[in-house]
Amino acid sequence: MNTSAYVFEADQKSFQRLVADKSFQVPVLVDFWASWCAPCQMLTPILHKLAEEYAGRFLLVTVNTDEERQLALEHGIRSLPTVRLFRNGSATEEFFGVQPETTIRALIDAYLDRPSDQPRLRAQALRDRGDTLAAIKLLEEALASDPDNDRIHLDLVPLLIEHDRFDQAERVLKDLPSSRQLDADVSRAFAQLNFARLAKGAPPPEILAQRVKDDPNNCEARYQLSAIKALRGDYEGAMEQLLEILRRDRGFRDDAGRKGLVALFELLGGEGPLVNRYRGLMASALY
């Protein structure tokens, strides 16, 4: 029987209270396991050790899938162990199988509240009121006091882009650890930065569209037009211009058509009907 103050066993009735509700207070790590699962037996001591070490800064909830088959079915559990991290009412991260303690620790740490998160909340309120310069100043101060808080970097970058401070935005992103550089949220931020840089100083979209009409092989006009469309949320229009660049001149700006499409796929989260369709069209153009 578990006697820890930081580890709980959930069933169908208690899952909402122990996991979703509690996750509004602290991160909740849910371990879906079974007694016959050898990797589960290897992972359990690691999770319990961390729960005791963190002493309530996150909670560990276990679900015995043999006893709670319906609960496992509802959560789509297909392999064991499956571990999911819940924050603010929903699952935000997951991993499968046995992972090193350092990996699990990093996952938990990313969702723990830090003193520098309070300035982040105040900066968000300032941004919502339209005072973006004050929000930038507050986030810059928070970043100086806690440069290891990745969340500050990703809050600050869109505001810097909004004020055309592109070089500073790039430095903020490049200051993130190398282990974060290829993560989806960082890739999306780089893509947004690159499109903003390209659109800055470009002619109006009407002029660019006319240039493309007059000369369909004008890849520079297509490239600038794609950036403007992307920043305005016309992702299909942007992809169409980039696809045409890929079809007409693979060498343009060092394969800018393909790279631009990949950046847009990342910006849109890498999935969805639009991404899937243009990924297929890109593959056809390449091969």
Residues acting as catalytic residues:
37, 40
Round to whole Å and give the CA distance between 96 and 61.
Answer: 16
DSSP 94-143: EEES---HHHHHHHHHTTS--TTHHHHHHHHHHHHTT-HHHHHHHHHHHH
Listed residue (121, 115, 93) closest to 185, CA to CA = 93
Contacts of 38-46 with CB under 8 Å at 24 or more apart are 39/80, 39/81, 39/97, 39/98, 40/80, 40/81, 42/98, 43/81, 43/83, 43/97, 43/98, 43/99, 46/98, 46/101, 46/104
Q: Which helix (H) or strand (E) holds 31?
A: strand 28-33
Per-residue tokens: 193: 């930065």
Strand 59-64, strand 82-87: pairing: unpaired
Round to whole Å and give the CA distance between 160 and 139.
Answer: 11
- Which CA distances in Å does 14 have to 1, 64, 72, 74, 198? 17, 13, 14, 14, 52
